[in-house]
Amino acid sequence: MDLQWSADEEAFRAEVRDFLAANLDPDLQRAGRLSTSVYPDHHASMRWQEALRRQGWAAPHWAPEHGGTGWTTAQHYIWATERQLAGAPALSPMGISMVAYVIMKFGTPEQQAFFLPRILSGEVFFCQGYSEPGAGSDLASLQTAAVEDGDDLIVNGQKVWTTHAGEANWIFALVRTSKEGRPQAGITFLLIDMATPGVEVQPFTMISGEQVQNSVFFTDVRVPKANVMGEIDRGWSVAKYLLEFERGGSAYAPAMKARCDQIAAWARETTGDDGRPLADDVVFAAKLARLRAKADVLEITELRLLSANEGASVGALSSMMKVMGTELAGEVTELTMEVAGPRGLVFQPHAAMPGGPVPGYDAPDDGHVSGDDRHALAALRYMNERAGPIYAGSNEIQRNILAKMVLGL
């Protein structure tokens, strides 16, 4: 693997920078800068997706015949790095970065023709219905049931931790269609229109104050069998395929390296207890150097895995990327809190543009922030990143997968 950028790749970097400069207006930059998790302000994210769609860059990893770019691994990595440096808001991953790959691999021509163009345009916006109150990392124990009735399946049950269910008009869900055999058997991967009678969304508030997560209840929800991905009772392999993209389908390192740079710049402006810049404190400098080294290791690992599996998922090694990426993200927020100091402990969600509303909190009329935006965002990002080692299958589960599938233990 050659780690030096070629002349063509540097020319591509210049093209990317020109596009970002022309299309990232101040409102979009503000949404990116003030986001508190992987889920940005919904309206800003959709507006940015439309700009990318017009350029043909909304889903660069997709196959070209479906609207992808055909970029090389190097181009993908340059794009990920430059958009992070430019402060672009993220796109919701549920459709473009997750279920779209399932539709490409397991969907019928009719399903592909309907969903893929609409995911690109934003007309179809998906949320994920995997976890249940009694089935999180142990996903095979899910109990939401679907019973066959002619050409339909009738669904009853509950999903939880469903991000952006209030904004979504479709949900991809795992439902139990049989209780025979192993727990992994008898599960079906189903696409459900959220406007179907019997679907109810109830938001709940996270520790950061945001209402991004929801419970989704299904009461006698009638879904056409034409919305099944793959085959009835054989959805477990479909679900595992999607999780490879959720856990390791994109690069963590560009964001982590950018955040380390931001911490370093902020520490140069922040005075420690001895009256000197915090950046000059040897203990703090050692902590930051450790994070930078981890980010460099993560970058090399991602480049090796993505280049070796160009155009495909990275399989079980996605678990390694998920563990490394989410744990490093948590460490970065911890060091950010150290720079923020006491002001970082003040709850000020009005300074942010999170992925959902913050009910019950009235911001000051003048929008005043204790310290500046960085102080307010430090705590909010810290609280959001606590979920990283848990979502998409806990990191303990990921280590078990690596032990079994990679190490043969």
Q: Which sequence positions are flagged as catalytic? A: 246
Ranges of H-type helices in 270-317: 282-308
Q: CA-CA distance, 151 to 305, in Å (whole number)?
A: 42
Cβ atoms of residues 168 and 159 within 8 Å: no
- Angle, CA of 402, 406 and 409, to the nearest 5°: 80
DSSP label at 271? B
Beta bridge pairs of residue 154 = 147, 222
DSSP label at 259? H
Q: Helices (H), strands (E): how many in the chain?
A: 13, 8
Please, what's the largest Cα pairwise distance for the chain? 75
Cβ atoms of residues 17 and 82 within 8 Å: yes
Q: Which of 131, 137, 92, 129 has the alpha carbon at shortest distance from 223?
A: 129
Beta bridge pairs of residue 22 = none
Q: CA-CA distance, 119 to 155, in Å (whole number)?
A: 24
Q: CA-CA distance, 138 to 130, in Å (whole number)?
A: 11
Cβ atoms of residues 145 and 221 within 8 Å: no
Tokens read off for 181: 């055999």
Coil, strand, or helix at residue 230?
Answer: coil
Tokens read off for 330: 């948590």
Q: Which own/partner contact pairs does 59-63 have at CB distance under 8 Å and 24+ positions apart? A: 59/96, 59/100, 59/119, 59/120, 61/97, 61/249, 62/96, 62/100, 62/104, 62/116, 63/104
- Angle, CA of 311, 315 and 320, to the nearest 5°: 115
Pairing between β-strand 145-149 and β-strand 152-159 as defined by DSSP bridges: antiparallel
Q: CA-CA distance, 68 to 78, in Å (whole number)?
A: 16
CB-CB neighbours of 136 under 10 Å: 18
CB-CB neighbours of 99 under 10 Å: 28
DSSP letter for each residue of 149-167? ETTEEEEEEEE-S-TTTTT
